[in-house]
Structure 1
Amino acid sequence: MSAGSRAAEVRYAEPLVVRVQGGPRERGRQYGALARERVRASLAAYAEVYAKFGGLTWAGATGLARTFVPALERFEAAAVPGGAGYLEEMRGIAEGAGVAFEDVLALNLRTEILFSGKARTIAAAGRAPGGRPPAECTSFCDLRGPEPIVGQNWDWIPFSHGTVVVLESDPDRGPRWVSVVEAGLLAKFGMNAAGLTVLTNALVTSRDVGDTGVPYHLMLRALLDAPSLAAGERLISSATRSSSANYLLVEGDRAVDAETRPGGAAEVHRTPVERGGFLVHANHFHGGDGDFGAPGEDLGPRVMPDSPFRRGRAEHGAELMPEPSLAGWHEVLSDHENFPDSLCCHPDATQHPLEQGSTVASAVFLPARREMHLALGHPCTVPRIRYDYGEFLAG
């Protein structure tokens, strides 16, 4: 099928790079001010998303977000002696963007609010709100060649083409880091000066009901502060997490893939990736239910039925490469088989605008060179931009 069939029109925004430095509140203010219009666009879009998929008004969403503050405070105190400052960072973003702290908090808890809202609606009305948001990502780690090559496609609702930013952070303590993220969120995927690259996939199980705990995007932010892969693994296992997610951590010539469900250390399944191997992950679990502490059905193949296809298609593409390369992985991530629900995902014009999926960003990292090759949009048409962080991440 050609890339034009059933595809809705997409408008890309110009790349926006935001560099911040200093303490948490100061960095947040800089971020909020420099990305003000995109933060406000995120807020307007998520007001519609929460209403449609969670059955929540914005006041309901921010009220729900406030119930997570005690869990965030406990996590901050445990993650970093003296506190990590994530709440202060969000307060700074709100000040810089001229919005309320609760608004930014509700953005950063988008995964938990959607699950919580849906669970509450089911409890009250006996049925879920109509439709479902897309949650498709395909990540990979390739350690077969002379240098590691890692990356992912991030797929989400098409409005995100206008809200994505490249966030470069020089904190007053901890390693410098860079992340590709929706404006207003603390982080998504990226790499830091300690040599750690963090990739991710959304997962969903029958146990994802929005219980209070460490939210998905706060965990991603904390992982970018981690000084090593081992520290990142400890962080994941020591937290009481609110949502299921996959975290692919890469350091040097080794990597660990951590599939997680809501809960603590018993709900983490580790898969090491050694030199000479590769791993592809999509939006369903690879580990069986017996690998976790408590029962919980993997709903990924039902909610995101193209996930097994994307994983298999990417693995097939990887196996066909004579030698792993940036160009080879670009071709894999640009693949249109099973269009529009392909590795390079395009919005389906026959669906509701908020139920459409689209590849918002496609990143290939060369960690040994501290390079990110990023297409902000569909990699089949949008040229990759080379971001050289050799100097920035040497700090």
Structure 2
Amino acid sequence: MSGGTRAAHVAYPPALVVRTEGGPLERGRRYGAAAKERVQASLTAYEEVYAKFAGLTWSGARALAESFLPALERFEAVHLAADGPRAGAGYLAEMRGVAEGAGVSFEDVLALNLRTEILFSGKARKIAAARAGGAGRPPAECTSFCDLRGAEPIVGQNWDWIPFSHDTVVVLESVPDRGPRWVSVVEAGLLAKFGMNAAGVTVLTNALVTSRDVGAVGVPYHLMLRALLDSPSVEEGLALLDRVERSSSANYLLVGGGRAVDAETRPGGRAEVHRTPVERGQYLVHANHFHGGDGEFGSVAEDLGPRVMPDSPFRRARGEQTAELMPEPSVAGWHEVLSDHENFPDSLCCHPDAAEHVLEQGSTVASAIFLPERQEMHLALGHPCTVPRVAYAYAEFFAE
């Protein structure tokens, strides 16, 4: 099934699994202390990334992140407090704890968690608009999937980003004082990326870009991911997406409780959410461009995904093509799909292109396949074409 060039084996850092428990501040301190070196490496790397793609110094990035604080405080006080088990989630306190544990400032950690909004600030938006003329661009981010054709759901994704992230990835396992336990594969210092929780909700994601992504103040992308991971059901996760003003475009694929729904979103509120259910007997592959079309939304905006991440349509089409060849859905079958090298190096399994600037290179940093009903994660940290998957069984952890 796999096509394209064979890749050389690369040695990656060992997995760092961090388990935290307690209240928000305590969980953050444990996370920050356990991942201290990786958090500091994230900060060093993003100082360069923000300078290159957003034209911001680190102090400028911190100041931009601080402008989101009133929106974040309202998010916690108004929207999350309405959700019972998720009430008082304390994301700001958790970030303060991460900063204390890692020996950095709160503003540093806040700037990490707003990386999407900072990269698409006003200056970055101008850069993105000029990319068709050959200006530098950050790499594509993800290819996700949901397969309901077999006896049980199989979902997952490749996360592609700048190669420094091989040194900063963390498997974060959380035992919060309120709400369901959860696990997420994250960049050190961020509160969440993709993962699953003890309530049976699995969250996958893809970055999207439109002409409306200008870093407007609202609920940031990675805190939205964290709130979805805290959700007690797919329905409540979708309701949260509807009722908040989101800062960035993104795709959220939510699976659990017999439901699978793909939610494409643009900056704004409920009118900027387009839902696509994945029914039994169907599958869906999503990359970094919109599938729903502008006509599904309440206002006009240009989808910049195919311009900013030109390999995105190919990755989606190739994922669908290889999924069709699968005799029956399985972890092994989807591993082969996510390891595919057609269109190398900008393939489903993405590899750095030495001809590009180091910050413009893309690399598959993590490749995860989830079996939600078994509460298992099959994870390859690094390129899945060469890195064997490790099975993480969470049924006992989630049941405690």
Supply the distance in 2 between the matched residues of 1:10 and 1:36 (Cα, whole angstroms).
24
Q: Does structure 2 conserve the Cα–Cα contact (< 8 Å) formed by 1:344 and 1:378?
A: yes
Q: Does structure 2 conserve the Cα–Cα contact (< 8 Å) formed by 1:180 and 1:187?
A: yes
Supply the distance in 2 between the matched residues of 1:391 and 1:220 (Cα, whole angstroms).
24
Cα displacement string for residues 12-59 of structure 1 (whole angstroms, at most 9, x for unaligned residues):
111000000000000000000000000000000000000000000000
Q: Which residue is equivalent to 1:162?
A: 167
The one-letter amino acid of 1:366's match is L
The one-letter amino acid of 1:56's match is L
Q: Which residue is equivalent to 1:143?
A: 148
The change in CA–CA distance for 1:322 and 1:203 in structure 2 (over 3 A counts) is same
Q: Does structure 2 conserve the Cα–Cα contact (< 8 Å) formed by 1:118 and 1:128?
A: no
Matched, 1:393 2:375: no
The offset of 1:10, in angstroms, is 5.4
Matched, 1:206 2:211: yes
Supply the distance in 2 between the matched residues of 1:141 and 1:217 (Cα, whole angstroms).
21
Supply the distance in 2 between the matched residues of 1:116 and 1:128 (Cα, whole angstroms).
20
Q: Which residue is equivalent to 1:71?
A: 71
Give the structure-1-normalised TM-score: 0.96
Q: Which residue is equivalent to 1:339?
A: 344
Supply the distance in 1 between the matched residues of 2:369 and 2:111 (Cα, whole angstroms).
29
The change in CA–CA distance for 1:191 and 1:120 in structure 2 (over 3 A counts) is closer
Matches within 5 A, 1:1-395: 1-4=4-7, 12-81=12-81, 83-116=88-121, 118-119=123-124, 130-395=135-400
Q: What SS is found at the alignment partner of 2:63? A: helix
Instruction: Let me know the Cα RMSD of the aligned residues.
Output: 1.8
Supply the distance in 2 between the matched residues of 1:377 and 1:319 (Cα, whole angstroms).
25
Supply the distance in 1 between the matched residues of 2:374 and 2:79 (Cα, whole angstroms).
29
Q: What SS is found at the alignment partner of 1:355? A: coil
Supply the distance in 1 between the matched residues of 2:57 and 2:107 (Cα, whole angstroms).
13
The one-letter amino acid of 1:77's match is A
Q: Does structure 2 conserve the Cα–Cα contact (< 8 Å) formed by 1:180 and 1:189?
A: yes
Q: What SS is found at the alignment partner of 1:368? A: coil
The change in CA–CA distance for 1:210 and 1:320 in structure 2 (over 3 A counts) is same
Cα displacement string for residues 96-147 of structure 1 (whole angstroms, at most 9, x for unaligned residues):
000000000000000000111525877xx9x999511113310000011001
Q: What SS is found at the alignment partner of 1:353? A: coil
Supply the distance in 1 between the matched residues of 2:251 and 2:304 (Cα, whole angstroms).
14
Q: What SS is found at the alignment partner of 1:174? A: coil
Q: Does structure 1 conserve the Cα–Cα contact (< 8 Å) formed by 2:61 and 2:111?
A: yes
The change in CA–CA distance for 1:31 and 1:88 in structure 2 (over 3 A counts) is same
Q: What SS is found at the alignment partner of 2:64? A: helix
The one-letter amino acid of 2:208's match is L
Supply the distance in 1 between the matched residues of 2:192 and 2:166 (Cα, whole angstroms).
16
The one-letter amino acid of 1:52's match is K
The offset of 1:184, in angstroms, is 0.1
Consecutive unaligned residues in structure 1, runs of 5 or more: none
Supply the distance in 1 between the matched residues of 2:268 and 2:123 (Cα, whole angstroms).
19
Give the percent of matched residue pairs that are identical in Structure 1 and Structure 2: 79
Q: Does structure 2 conserve the Cα–Cα contact (< 8 Å) formed by 1:17 and 1:166?
A: yes
The one-letter amino acid of 2:15's match is P
Give the structure-2-normalised TM-score: 0.94
Supply the distance in 1 between the matched residues of 2:392 and 2:370 (Cα, whole angstroms).
10
Supply the distance in 1 between the matched residues of 2:43 and 2:179 (Cα, whole angstroms).
29
The change in CA–CA distance for 1:10 and 1:213 in structure 2 (over 3 A counts) is farther
Supply the distance in 1 between the matched residues of 2:385 and 2:178 (Cα, whole angstroms).
39
The change in CA–CA distance for 1:119 and 1:382 in structure 2 (over 3 A counts) is closer
Q: What SS is found at the alignment partner of 2:395? A: coil
Supply the distance in 1 between the matched residues of 2:95 and 2:240 (Cα, whole angstroms).
21
Supply the distance in 2 between the matched residues of 1:92 and 1:130 (Cα, whole angstroms).
38
Cα displacement string for residues 124-172 of structure 1 (whole angstroms, at most 9, x for unaligned residues):
x9x9995111133100000110011000000000000000000000000
The offset of 1:317, in angstroms, is 1.2
The offset of 1:79, in angstroms, is 3.0
The offset of 1:254, in angstroms, is 2.1
Supply the distance in 1 between the matched residues of 2:121 and 2:13 (Cα, whole angstroms).
31
The offset of 1:294, in angstroms, is 1.0
